[in-house]
Structure 1
């Protein structure tokens, strides 16, 4: 599809007519594959984006990474809506209230446009809705804080549609240690966290190990009787020292468990140069704060000025493809998927993957690597749907 036709398609859907990056423009074959198969994205932060500022994503929006026209153009069929709870609210009634509010937002999206969207609570829902031309909105909770140590809360959130839970976020909570938190409060999972793994298995909620510490990851793998997921993680091989990503031993353990890692698109997740830039900027900011104070004029426009003088080194489609390819070569095609983190990683998205209209560029990168249509279909969605089905099957017997 040439650029003028692409723009016409998006305009016809009511979307923004900004063209894809020409260097990574996808072929007709790539675009056809993206439309032909169910495309699951394990993590999109639309609900919290709406918490910051309500916009109607059932129509074209002028900002953000997701709306209906762009999702249709990109072939996105099943974006997991992230019910994200900031660590600042950990283990509080406010965290539970916010989780319910964000689920309400997802329901409101469907209520505004039932001809475009539908809540999905099972792989069967996703498949049926795909056949009807609807975009499924399954939900995952990012940060288990809203559970507040209650299995009754777990069951309530299951009833409302939560189908995976990221056990912790940027700080240790009452469930698990976090990869970002230097305090290892539990040395992995808490006693409640260990019980929670068992109950999530029994109920049919996928366990998401993105964000947790390495010790917590291995404890989950040891305890879980069903496959687990990393809903939006990339690979430590390409970002040495970044515990938020997964190393090769973890990938092997995840594969032995039958699980899937869903690759995060953020440049600082997939590229060491991008990550180094972010670290250096943070260090310079801390130095200025230490010298002049947190409220000093020197910090007023710091980030804007720093970026102007030191342009951010974006990753690109090929960088993300390298992460996918490494998983495939290490543990097999069945254990990798997509977890973009759209609307969650700010302006750090790679060149060629700037919003949900650009999945065909990723498909093109996989085609260029020699991947078959059948294998690409697994990466796009079949792998995650398999895991979800196996989690359901285990729960049905317990």
Structure 2
């Protein structure tokens, strides 16, 4: 009954909002970026700082995110990714690393409480926006830290995590991965199926980015609330790349009431970039074999530099990202698309025009140029994800 109610409300919202779809905004991208909440579903700051610490409460030379650039771009609610490498599923240490990365997000807030605040609810995000603070909600990328224990789900909820990407680059004890040729569970594990139910009951959003297609459809069959794909794109533009979502999945996401948040990485957006990356990976692997070289060795660093110098990487563009948004809107509707840039997570593969968190106004100007109304832009920037998050909160409060 609740699932049907969600769908009915979503359809009613779509109908009500479509009336103003062609109303042009007199404001610029920069002005709209300041007017509305911008929520980005996936930014890998914590793991970046784990590897190479810098003070993001101030301007930094590296990375894609810091406070001055976030302010310049109008970014209000970047989900801090608590990224856990897939290898830790077998070696151990997932939970410990997750707690350490959460500590690092709290440390950002503690060092600059006049700039940042932890957000654990929709109400927090809205209140902190009014206060001029940048909210730092958290999402866990890879469910490995759950370690097969439901009490760990509560532990991380209590620590502020509000979504979990069920798996990452390898299948784990929860779900098969889209990147993993081995699919031991044919989708979700039995524990994973139980976890989806408990995440619903707790108010923890389910993130279907990274998981296999079979796992996605099993989640759709089980969940009683809408899901997110926190940093995925449209497979139409990257045929065969399972990490992105195909049109049938987008249609099912619409039925569920969920949201896909578009990943900016060039290899997610452009087939030309994807093909280049696949060829580079094959050539790099062969070079390492031929030279008995290990990753991150000087000879491998020189190989990468020489390769890129002689065969420049074909970056995607802002227009390519807009094409993905257009396609999701065409297939699933304006209520089901958002932003999940993957800043600090896709290396130097970001598209031209969208190189860091100062560039959200460029995206908005692009949306305006393509005829999106101010109301629809607000939905893309944050409204759609906040709607889903609120539904998850409301469902949990009733269970």
Same fold (TM over 0.5): yes
Q: Contact conserved, 1:91 with 1:146, CA < 8 A, in 2?
A: no
The equivalent residue for 1:171 is 170
Preserved CA contact (<8 Å) 1:91 1:148: no
Contact 1:91 1:174 in 2 (8 A): no
Measured at CA, do residues 91 and 118 of structure 1 come closer, stay the same or move farther in structure 2, by a change above 3 Å?
A: farther
Contact 1:163 1:205 in 2 (8 A): yes
Report what 1:345 is aligned to. 346
1:90 is displaced (CA, Å) by: 1.3
Tell me if structure 1 keeps the 8 A contact 2:318–2:351: yes
Question: How many pairs were matched up?
Answer: 372
Task: Spell out, residue by residue over 1:26-70, the C-alpha distance to the aligned partner (whole angstroms, 9 max, x if none).
Answer: x96111001100100000000001100111111111110000000
CA drift of 1:301 comes to 1.3
Separation (CA, whole Å) in 1 of partners of 2:247 and 2:160: 32
Report whether the alignment pairs 1:44 with 2:43: yes
Query: Take 2:90 and 2:83, find their aligned partners in 1: how far apart are those partners?
Result: 14
Gaps of 5+ in 2: 1-25
Taking the TM superposition and a 5 Å limit, the aligned residue runs for 1:1-398 are 29-90=28-89, 93-295=92-294, 299=300, 301-398=302-399
TM-score by length of 2: 0.91
1:298 Cα deviation after fit: 6.3
1:92 CA displacement: 5.6
Task: Give the conservation status (yes or no) of the 8 Å contact 2:253–2:332.
Answer: no
SS at match of 1:169: coil
Residues in 2 aligned to 1:298 and 1:174: alpha-carbon distance in whole angstroms: 37
CA RMSD of aligned residues (A): 1.3
Does the 8 A contact of 2:293 with 2:299 survive in 1? Answer: no
Contact 1:44 1:341 in 2 (8 A): yes
TM-score for both structures, normalised by structure 1: 0.92
Q: Bigger relative contact order, structure 1 or 2, given CA contacts below 8 A and separation 6+? A: 2
The answer to whether the Cα contact below 8 Å between 1:353 and 1:362 also exists between their aligned partners in 2 is yes
- Cα displacement (A) at 1:289: 3.1
Aligned partners of 1:95 and 1:299: how far apart in 2? Answer: 28
Matched residues in 2 for 1:92 and 1:285: separation?
26
Unaligned 5+ runs, structure 1: 1-26
Deviation track 1:174-226 (CA, whole Å, cap 9, x = no partner) reads 00000000000100000000000000000000000000000000000000000
Q: Distance in 2 between matches of 1:176 and 1:299?
A: 33
